[in-house]
Chain A
Amino acid sequence: MAIEKLEGVILRVRPQGETSKIVTAFTPRRGLLSVIAKGARSPKSKFGGGLEVTNRVQLVYYHRDTRDLQVLSQVDILERFEHVQREIGRLALAEAAFEILLRTEAGQQTAHQLYNLLVQTLRGLEHGERGLRNVLRSFVLHFLAVSGVAPQLRACRRCGRSEVPARLQFDLEHGGYVCDQCVPEGRTVVPASGRTLEWARWLAQVPPEKAAAPISERTAAELDRWLQLYLGYHFESLHGLRSLAFLNGLSAAQRAGS
């Protein structure tokens, strides 16, 4: 049994029995890692506030290859995202990114890139002020790129023209877009405006940390519809994300209240 020290972001914490917690973290070296924090539910636990979701921490644990669940020995906080932890809207956006990583069981090969992406996303949600949902949209587009299914947004897949058309169709199957007049028969397409394509191009370029920016409701709705369908098309496990349903419910409640 070896003692390992790993950096990671805490994605999920679940109570285990009377006194312990099961902590799932995303680490740059091992991808998803589950550890049991014995005694963590006790008020005098040595883990204290270190095991809060979204915390970037250093985990010290006893590693055994034959075990799925490793035993946590120590946790030290490297970075806190206080606004994300305290505001339900920011937390829900962060947890939508977590849910994507948890459901796709992102592995070791791309873990380092995904970890950097995750930390940038949390920083974007922590420091951004308006248009925070663009941070999540940017995370999704970068996640797709790291996973090898990035949509081709430079030019129409059929005629090759790179100028932004007034109307277009996102092609789920071939991972790009086609101009309105180039739509082939029998394809699964999502209609959108040229403005939506411009936003998609920008969000795929900019790091999530800098993606917070106000966006019109219509463009946001088109982007979200396309991204949700695209995610679901390429990853069966990403159908019906709970965090997104939560976010949509929260936005509807806030609109009704305002």
Chain B
Amino acid sequence: MLYTSPAIERAIEQLSRLPGIGRKSAQRLVFYLLKIPEEQVSELAQSLTELKQKVRYCSVCFNLTEEDPCPICRDPARDRSTICVVEQPNDVLALEKTGQYRGLYHVLGGSLSPLDGIGPENLRVRELVQRLQGGEVREVIVATNPNAEGEATAIYLAQLIKPLGIKLSRIARGIPVGSDLEYADEITLARALEGRIDL
């Protein structure tokens, strides 16, 4: 043991388990926590406990929520004929920030990845197809990440969804707003040309 207090040692060990935090950073955090008022530390501990106790997956869209179904699925003002399929709950947050989308979501929980052994049975693909068979949905927007795994997942979903006679679309990919065309690589430019729209 490096420290005279087992509590310090235990806290360092626990914090260094978090992603991106090594032992050195964990030590700094522990000494910071020792310096701040006890109420602040209690609040932090309580919020972490509540996080695990209260937050769960929505049984409809699989977004993170405290109430099931989640507020988005329960909202009567939402367009129930459109479902946007995303990989992670963070992606729902990013799309909600735009204020442009008023439909529902479906969180897959990742993308197909042969190298990591993540197949369709590891994602919420079956649940998506079950939702679509309800007959209420008229359009599915596939918003998986624009990388090889995300593209392959989108094509795989298209093969499952097209026979159901539902309109299927993919979010546009291409030049980011505010960037210069001359610095864009050929893949990005090719995708931008593919996804061009009428003016």
Partner of B114, one of A46, A47, A91, A102: A91
Q: How many Å from the CB of B186 to the closest CB on chain A?
A: 6
- Chain B residue with Cβ nearest A55: B187
The answer to whether A206 has its CB under 8 Å from any CB of chain B is no
Q: How many Å from the CB of A9 to the closest CB on chain B?
A: 13
A-contacting residues, B30-75, CB 8 Å: none
Partner of A77, one of B113, B183, B187: B187
A-contacting residues, B132-165, CB 8 Å: 146-149, 151-153, 155-156
The answer to whether B198 has its CB under 8 Å from any CB of chain A is no
Taking a contact as CB atoms under 8 Å apart, the answer to whether B121 and A249 are in contact is yes
**Chain A count of residues within 8 A CB distance of the other chain:** 34
Taking a contact as CB atoms under 8 Å apart, the answer to whether B148 and A85 are in contact is yes
B185 CB contacts on chain A under 8 angstroms = 47-50, 77
Taking a contact as CB atoms under 8 Å apart, the answer to whether A88 and B153 are in contact is yes
Taking a contact as CB atoms under 8 Å apart, the answer to whether A44 and B176 are in contact is yes
Taking a contact as CB atoms under 8 Å apart, the answer to whether B148 and A92 are in contact is no
Partner of A85, one of B151, B178, B179: B151
Known: A44-B176, A242-B117, A247-B114. Contact between A88 and B187, CB under 8 A? no
Per-residue 0/1 for A87-122: is the Cβ within 8 Å of any B Cβ (1 yes, 0 no)? 110011001101100100000000000000000000
Give Cα A43 to B172, complex, Å: 13
The answer to whether A243 has its CB under 8 Å from any CB of chain B is yes
A69 CB contacts on chain B under 8 angstroms = none
Give Cα A44 to B174, complex, Å: 11
Partner of A242, one of B115, B146, B156: B115
B187 CB contacts on chain A under 8 angstroms = 48-50, 52, 77, 80
Taking a contact as CB atoms under 8 Å apart, the answer to whether B188 and A48 are in contact is yes
**Chain B count of residues within 8 A CB distance of the other chain:** 30
A250 CB contacts on chain B under 8 angstroms = 119-120
Taking a contact as CB atoms under 8 Å apart, the answer to whether B117 and A53 are in contact is no
The answer to whether B191 has its CB under 8 Å from any CB of chain A is yes
The answer to whether A2 has its CB under 8 Å from any CB of chain B is no
Per-residue 0/1 for A12-32: is the Cβ within 8 Å of any B Cβ (1 yes, 0 no)? 110001000000000000000
A-contacting residues, B7-27, CB 8 Å: 20
Give Cα A250 to B153, complex, Å: 12
Taking a contact as CB atoms under 8 Å apart, the answer to whether A88 and B152 are in contact is yes
The answer to whether A253 has its CB under 8 Å from any CB of chain B is yes
Give Cα A52 to B186, complex, Å: 12
Give Cα A245 to B121, complex, Å: 12
- Chain B residue with Cβ nearest A48: B185
Give Cα A47 to B187, complex, Å: 11
Partner of B115, one of A49, A99, A249: A99
A52 CB contacts on chain B under 8 angstroms = 147-148, 187
The answer to whether B193 has its CB under 8 Å from any CB of chain A is no
B148 CB contacts on chain A under 8 angstroms = 52-54, 85-86, 91
B149 CB contacts on chain A under 8 angstroms = 53, 91
A13 CB contacts on chain B under 8 angstroms = 147
Q: How many Å from the CB of B173 to the closest CB on chain A?
A: 9
Taking a contact as CB atoms under 8 Å apart, the answer to whether B155 and A246 are in contact is no
Taking a contact as CB atoms under 8 Å apart, the answer to whether B152 and A243 are in contact is no
Taking a contact as CB atoms under 8 Å apart, the answer to whether A88 and B20 are in contact is no
A-contacting residues, B180-197, CB 8 Å: 183-188, 191
- Chain A residue with Cβ nearest B147: A52
Taking a contact as CB atoms under 8 Å apart, the answer to whether A246 and B117 are in contact is yes
B-contacting residues, A136-150, CB 8 Å: none
B156 CB contacts on chain A under 8 angstroms = 88
A52-B148, A86-B148, A88-B156 given. 11 additional CB < 8 A pairs? A43-B176, A44-B179, A48-B188, A77-B186, A86-B155, A88-B153, A88-B155, A91-B114, A95-B113, A242-B116, A243-B114
Q: Which residues in B have some Cβ–Cβ distance to A below 8 Å?
A: 20, 112-121, 146-149, 151-153, 155-156, 176, 178-179, 183-188, 191
Can you spell out 24 A-B residue pairs with CB atoms less than 8 angstroms apart? A12-B115, A17-B20, A46-B183, A48-B185, A48-B187, A49-B187, A49-B188, A52-B148, A53-B149, A77-B185, A80-B187, A85-B148, A88-B112, A88-B114, A88-B152, A88-B153, A88-B156, A95-B113, A98-B115, A99-B114, A243-B117, A249-B119, A249-B120, A249-B121
